Structure 1
Amino acid sequence: MSGRICDIAIVGGGLSGGLIALALAWHRPELRVRLIESGPALGGNHRWSWFSTDLSPEGNALMERFRKTTWDDGYAIHFPDLKRELDAGYLSLTSEDFAAALERELAPGTILTGKEVSRLSADAVELADGTTITARSVIDCRGFAPSSHLNGGWQVFMGRHVHTPEPHGVTRPIIMDACVDQVAPAGNGGAYRFVYVLPLGAHDVFVEDTYYADRPDLDRSALSGRIDQYCRQHGLGGEPVSFETGVLPVITGGNFRAYQEATRIPGVTVAGGRGGFVHPLTSYTLPIAVNVALAIVEDADLPGEQLSAKIEAQARRHWSAMGFYRALGRMLFIGAEPEDRFRIFERFYGLPEPLIERFYAGHSTFLDRARTLIGKPPIPIWRGAHALFSNSPPLTPSHPKDTQ
């Protein structure tokens, strides 16, 4: 212990890093932890959502520390030929509430914001200001690293919190409203588009316009205009309170071992999106991040090299378990014409609800997978077969366009 500033240094104060720090604080409060974030606050500007069926009892206990919005009466989906209400509860957490809980729950001195990192090693974090934080273990949670070793498309979105002058009348979340124009903004190539609606209160609603797009270009003006149009059509006009944007990978294939080798820093544990801990089709991360945080707690006493190797092996097991969802992603991006991509989800949402719950949790059984693929296909059989044995474009390191 001599000369060490802390036991565990976590780089990246987003969802994964924050959950690891919280899990350590609750289960191993004697450990000295540093949570290092380059931005001005933990969590950035995001909203994370999940289903009540996604988490284990231990995971639910960890998430009880956060103030969140909960809908216990289920959710709805809207497609041109299918409108359905499902029973699973839904929950949503804002980055503001995420940061507030961590500031309350973590020991004084744990959180370091506004700290740019210049270098990581197995036992130290070097900051841009010349400070070195030494640790027994270093965990890298800095977010997904685009790579030519992975293939896929992108989930591009803009969300807006609106305060309506009159009660808006939306009573439950609408997870997917695909009864909208399926043409993507210029520059995104083909896309599957839907709108996501969360009633936050009688006068408050969150409306998000989302594309499963071939390219990662974010046209803020186009997305904002489409949110305006949707709000007008559904009586959701009002004062904008806040907004968020994002570009997330939808991973459909690749060489995961090569990706790990390219991103590996010897002895440094890699978690979160950078470690490959995502649902490759939905891009949901919270349930997986909770599980990884709890796994790290179990092995928190390991030296950095051993913890790194163990979590890296867990990431490979996760990659293997997610193969079915990557195959569905190839059917979406390669097998379907852009204007017909919504039909894949429309057919999926007509399946039994327990199957849908296991799909989002990443726990689809063999029978679930067979039931998803068997039956009247939403796309021509030859196109689906071609997609299963094809590769999407690489998720290259080039920066997406972000235009106003």
Structure 2
Amino acid sequence: MIETYDEALSFIHGRTQFKKIPTLKRMRRFLAELGNPQEGLNYIHVTGTNGKGSTVAMMRSALLESGLTVGSFTSPFITRFNERIEYNNIPISDEDLLRMVQKIAPIVKKLDVELATGGPTEFEIDTAIMFCYMAEKKPDVVLLEVGIGGLYDSTNVIKPVVSVITTVGWDHMKYLGNTISKIATQKAGIIKTKVPVVIGNLPEEARTTIRKDAQKKSSPVFELDEDFSVRKLNGHHLHSKVQYQGKKIKALEVTLGLLGEYQVENAAIALMTIELFMTKMGLSIDRRALIEGLEHTSWPGRLEEVNTTPLVLLDGAHNLPGIQALVKTIKKDFADREVYLLVAILADKQYELMLGELASLGNVHLTVTHFAGPGPKRPSADLGAAVDSIPTKYPVQVVNDWQLGIGQVASQMSEEDVMIITGSLYFISDVRKLFLN
């Protein structure tokens, strides 16, 4: 019997993470046993290699400012599991989480016995908890972030009001395929018949795949730089001031609360999605609420400032496209400053290519380190061995203990310099506790 919050978490985390054959049949059966809690709610469904979390955070903030009640489901968490399931920006309480686990545990046990492949995975259980919680709370809208891919993701059992594909790049190739086209096919799996889809700036191969899929399903596509646009109005500023042009919203100017170059496009995607959602729901669009919402958005671990002098930023860039976006920000906003990077990356990522991108910058001082990783099956990569073959302007430092690494890097910096700690959201989660305790 599960009687405490800790037992509930152990139950969730004790489940298998993946099954050999991807399918939604098990998830549909699981939800049917629970009385289909996912039905009867309005969803915005978001996938993408990067940018999902930031786009959801901006939409949540702007929709709350617009007077709506908002549920959200995001991953991974930075500090506590509860952050993944939120209602009106407040994480699910320990009591509610325990209650939801107590509700679903007997069903999981039953399916373990009845299904040939065994019962639900960890993420399917997370998703079911969220659906049960949202069925009780009944928010005006649920912002639903995909776990991995889209087509076979356990969130893909709903018909949303709007679908969103932020970016398509290299990540999770073991599960999604080893070409951009294959990865895009998985992401396009969230597109539903006649449901509009908002897409960001995608590689041509991904764009073609997604447009074809949308055409087959008679789903209107709203593409960045084709149907809506954004431009940055201030040059080398971490807080980007942008002007957005949409369908109904014209020349909306806002200074973004989230730092970094890559948030400019995420903001445009968030605004276009809100336009479509509000229009489809017959709700009026309040420009002031959108501006307030985007100005006050916060999202832990995404170029998050944890120290001012010298400036220390945490960035959860955890794959090649994420690191490329960070490189763009460093080039644009820190070209005139020395940047000290402390990097740790999981061994199942393209860590050599990621390090190569960071090392290519002339003003970067690179220190690589190690952290515990989320579990024994996903260790931190040995970056010390990887950096030997990477050409850099300054010698790369290797420090095995990341806490010592922070101290060592800090001792080399002046007040004008910048420290960025990056490479993995799990790493950032550990570091954040140190800075914010």
Structure with greater strand share of residues:
1
The structure with higher relative contact order (CA 8 Å, sep 6+) is: 1
TM-score (norm 1): 0.29
TM-score (norm 2): 0.27
